[in-house]
Amino acid sequence: MSIDSIAGPFQPGHNHKVCIRDAMNIAEQLCQSKDLRLTKIRKRVLELVWTGHEPATAYQLLKKLRAERENAEPPTVYRALDFLVEHNLVHRIESLNAFIGCDHPESEHVSQFLICSHCNQVAELDDSVTINNAVSEEANRLGFRVSDQTVEIMGLCAACQ
């Protein structure tokens, strides 16, 4: 594994061009294998989301999209995001009303994030079993059946402390 392939914004040696390239390749493969239509708009919105590891709002994406596609309107980007979120290519960050690319959409998982309040970079945890178990344990105590979770941890990344 070369230094270029270290993943995640909080990893030293992180090369973002590799993130983008990998994400787009994975998206293409996933959509092919599941017979999903990664249309031009959807693909472009996914690329725009992957501009960085800072979550992007729908209207930030819309603004960028409009630079290339003058007739883009809110539904254009919201529909693309709906598709991307549905298939785990993108996650919505509830506490920010914003969207972030997922680097492992092919594996079924719940999303959990570390959000740096200084540099605004977001890292997705790898479907932490530790957190999942803790959540299950608490839910079980109350006879609650979990179907989904929002776990968004705010703080400072190592570089920003």
Could you give the CA distance from residue 1 to residue 14 in angstroms, rounded to a whole number? 13
Residue 78 engages DNA in binding (rule: CB under 7 A) = yes
Residue the block writes with tokens 């703080």: 155
Task: Decide which of Zn ion, DNA, a copy of itself, none touches 145; Cβ closer than 5 to 8 Å per partner kind.
Answer: a copy of itself
Closest CA to 132 of 116, 154, 108: 108
DSSP 159: G
Nearest-approach distance from CB 94 to DNA, in angstroms: 8
Comparing CB distances to DNA, the nearer of 11 and 32 is 32
Query: How many other β-carbons are positioned within 10 Å of the β-carbon of residue 124?
Result: 21
Residue 88 engages DNA in binding (rule: CB under 7 A) = no
Binding-site member from 90, 116, 122, 124 for a copy of itself (CB under 8 A): 116
Chain residues in the site for Zn ion (CB under 5 A): 16, 19, 102, 111
